[in-house]
Structure 1
Amino acid sequence: MSQLTSADRIAYLDTAAATPVGQDYKRRALDALDLRPGQTVVDVGCGPGTDLGRLADAVRADGLVVGVDRDPGMLAEAGRRLADRPWIDLRVGDAHALPLDDISMDRARIDRVLMHVEDPAAALAEVRRVLRPTGVLVVTEPDWDTLAVADEDVATSRRFARFVAGQVRNPTIGRELVRLSARVGLRVRSVEAIPVVFEDFGTADRILGLRRNSARAVAAGEMIDREVRPWLRRLSAGPLLASFTLYLVTAEA
């Protein structure tokens, strides 16, 4: 996503959230947070506010939702979308240094953010700092090393998967969440491994960047154009199957 414009990133996040698997895992994450009216909750890396409305509806007007993001443009879009909920507080900040007081939050949420940060353990330690005793963190992250695209040309599919994983700062963060959470003093309650499956070329292309990333891989010399072109034709003609694993971890301070 680092190669996308701000508008493209917003569109990407909205598209991913609208897919059936996106709706499913976000519902599971919201259930795991177990939000109650009057609670305080922080969404670390809230982006354009994709999920802030659901958090705000759960804690209601006597609660507080803090959306933190390092991109002022994302927060501006979130503010535009959520102007009708004044108990949402949007703050510019970094996951490694949250603009929050110690032990000030009942709940914390991280969704596909740690795969991008410089130091995931430091970001988790920050969440541990701001959570109240027995406060709950729910974090969802992919494991891009599990990406697989089904095709008769297995070698080209593997090259594509390796290239995509190589574009992510922390591609295996999903499988590392339990270890890193324990390192910073969080007690893991549960772990879910959620298969993310694509059977539609259009959706897979938007989320995985089948055409965009394969073109970049060719330009980088990591895929071969004469092999990529028929590979994409077969995928677009279908049937298509591609998948990766998303981990949902619930932990307690």
Structure 2
Amino acid sequence: MKADVLGLLLALTGLFHAGSHGQEDAGLPCSDKTVEDVVHLVLLLHNKDLSEGGQLALYQILEASKAQNDSGDVISVRFTGRETDCPAGGDKVWDQCDYLQDPAKVAYRPPCLGCPINIDIHSEDIKEPLSYSLLKANIMHNHPHFFILNTIYQATRQVIAGFRYQLKFDMQKSNCTKSDFKEVTEECHPDQEAPSFINCNSTVDVAPWRLELPETHVQCAPGPIQVSPLSFMFKRPPGCKAMPTPWKVFQPVFRGPPPPPSNKTEIGLGAAEPSG
């Protein structure tokens, strides 16, 4: 498979139930879970039939729609794929592979309006959603100690009726107990004697013009976040003390040149618990 098929267009009509007399198609967001599941299945089937070259991986979901007929739903998805470094017939699934690089070509990737986009994890944009995520995680986590930020692994932003932020991070148990402290303060630092971690995914909907607290949803599981050795993240340096504002409990550490100093303007969280 040559490099010039990096922009190969795959067209799919996924029929969950066969039937006729379909109604008019209704557009689906590119990030819809059903759309992603259909694309995943099509690529699995496509790569299973390959006998040479590299597997294809998703590059861009262009459009998706859903129609209904007498038997059920008809999902149609149009997307592009790129060749990866995973050989045909290998053990890896396409989403575990990396794109083949072609330095002679730079492919144009048209934007998918309404899709989540990755944002820099040291961006000022994630200060507010991160703060509410840490606060909500501590409220939900039934543990006698406060947990403080350990690492941020990933952040995305999506345009909805406002902005939707999705964050992936982990937290470490601190020395501060909830019975002795009302909130995380500068006295709170990681408990090195009995370390304990939780890893979390949060979704925070922000609409500043509504003058309302962001709607925050957090799901956490035991243990630190699992990342590859080449991952790029924010991490608390050892011995760094926690500050009252959750954003300030860590300083950025990168595998590469450090970013410029961030603006340390504090965020007022208020006394109310975020909804969600």
Same fold (TM over 0.5): no
Q: What is the TM-score when the length of structure 1 is the normalising length?
A: 0.27
Q: What is the TM-score when the length of structure 2 is the normalising length?
A: 0.25
Who wins on radius of gyration, i.e. which is larger? Answer: 2
The higher relative CO (CA closer than 8 Å, separation ≥ 6) is in 1
Q: Report which of the two has the higher share of helix.
A: 1
Q: Report which of the two has the higher share of strand.
A: 2
